[in-house]
Amino acid sequence: MTTYRGPADRLAAPAPHRPAAGSSTCPDGRPATLRRVIASKLGREIVTFGAIGVVFTAAYAVLYLALRSVTGPTAANALALVITTIGNTAANRRLTFGVREGGSMLRDQIGGLIALAVALAITTLSVNLLGALAPHAGRFVELAVLVVANALSTVARFVLLRSWITADRQLALAPAPTRNPQE
């Protein structure tokens, strides 16, 4: 038998039929902690971002090999990255981060181009380093080095795009400041 000791006992645990304040329930009925909600959203974003990355890495590889037959490795890399970045950013904006309205599209594409600059720096350094260390490496070795460099730059790209696009969404969803009628 429990002894009632005052109002603190009422606040100690939520009623069994409702979750604690500030939380909700998962589809399975368990209380959804903030950590679980964040982890599931972040996990979904990473999986979606990765799937889009695989598709655009394949497109990049095809473009790189096509362009490499008519130009040098640095130019082929830059052109293939620029072309695939625009589609990649649009796909991630919509599918990974759930942005469907067009109002911030230009700003998000600029964020994607900033992330491209990081990727371009990493991949250009990689292909130039390969050229210095193994000047007779074949195109498929170049491509393998570039795919690994792109994988490394993908982490930076995810962090940049996520912070850029979600910051934009948070600004859009934030309530407008209220004005004091006395002013």
Average pLDDT, the chain: 78
Q: Are 63 and 84 contacting, i.e. CB atoms less than 8 angstroms apart? A: yes
Q: How far apart are CA 112 and CA 115, in angstroms?
A: 5
Q: Which amino acid is at 66?
A: A
Tens of pLDDT, residue by residue over 81-107, are 889 988 998 898 899 888 887 777 888
Kindly report whether the global pTM for this prediction surpasses the value 0.75: no
Tokens standing for residue 130? 């390969």
**Residue listed under structure tokens 């792109």:** 150
The residues spanned by each domain of the chain are 34-171
For 84, counting Cβ atoms within 10 Å of its Cβ (0-12 exposed, 13-18 middle, 19+ buried), the class is buried
30-76 residue pLDDT tens: 666 656 655 678 888 888 999 998 999 899 999 999 999 999 988 99
Q: Binning pLDDT at 50, 70 and 90, where does residue 19 land? A: very low
* Helices 139-173, 73-91: crossing angle, 10 deg rounding: 30
Q: Which two tokens stand for residue 36?
A: 């679980």
pLDDT tens profile 118-141: 888 998 899 899 999 999 999 899
| pLDDT at residue 165 in the model | 77
pLDDT at residue number 55:
94
Please tell me the distance from the alpha carbon of residue 69 to that of residue 145, in angstroms, as a whole number.
17
24 forms bridges with which residues in the sheet? 32
